[in-house]
Amino acid sequence: MKLECVVPPAKEPVTVAEVNEFLRIDDDIEDNLVASFISAARMFCEEYQHQAYNTQTLRLVINTTECGSEVELPRSMYLQKITKVASRLPDGTESAVLYSTGTGGILTVVKIADVLPAEGDVIIEYITGNDDLQLDNVKMAIKLLVSGWHNNRLPYNDSSKMSEEVPYGVKALLNPGRIML
């Protein structure tokens, strides 16, 4: 199973200006670096919480040998629309697949009605996310991640000890909204 972002969010949950203020950066020399840190931090938080924060298009590719008749869509808590469900043969030809949707608790389930080929992939593209969420914990987690990455650009500190993988407090901020799979 492979999940990829086809169309990223148009905006991030926090702005470069908000992060620069948090980091006490007065100039705009590092704005591009900070913007890339913000994007990476959002992706980390989305992966950790199993959610999509802002509207984005995702593509799920599953090998037909691994695909059952029901597929739970990752990060579909705020599903807006399924844009494509198709099977792709090894030669690259695609054909539409009949399906219906249901809820599997928090996430959306795609129920495949067609018989799938023995070899190939099932491709599901969908738009998910909610631009109006109040994400105060997520915003702070993103700021902490960016701060940690900005201040510690090497994997070790001055005393030759490995740096923390995730700055202190990030997981504590993200755990309340985390979807356990």
Q: Mean pLDDT, consecutive 10-residue segments, the chain of 181 residues? A: 94 95 92 95 93 95 90 92 95 93 83 90 95 87 92 63 68 83 64
pLDDT for residue 158: 60
Beta bridge partners of 62: 122
Task: Render 86-142 in DSSP notation, one character per residue.
Answer: EEE-TTS-EEE--EEEEEETTEEEEEE-SPPPSSSEEEEEEEE--TT---HHHHHHH
Residue 65 structure tokens: 């040998």
Length of the chain: 181
What is the per-residue pLDDT for 164? 62
- Judged by DSSP in three states, 85 sits in strand
Handedness of CA 171, 175, 176, 179 (dihedral sign): positive
Give the pLDDT of residue 175. 85
Global pTM? Answer: 0.84
Q: Which two tokens stand for residue 23?
A: 């980091």
Q: If DSSP codes are grouped into helix, strand and coil, which group holds residue 37?
A: helix
* Contact indicator for 86, 101 with CB cutoff of 8 Å: no
Residue with tokens 């054909």: 95
151, containing H or E segment: helix 136-151
- Residue 176 DSSP class: G
- The label of the residue with tokens 């000890």 reads 161
User: By the 8 A CB rule, do 112 and 71 touch?
Assistant: yes
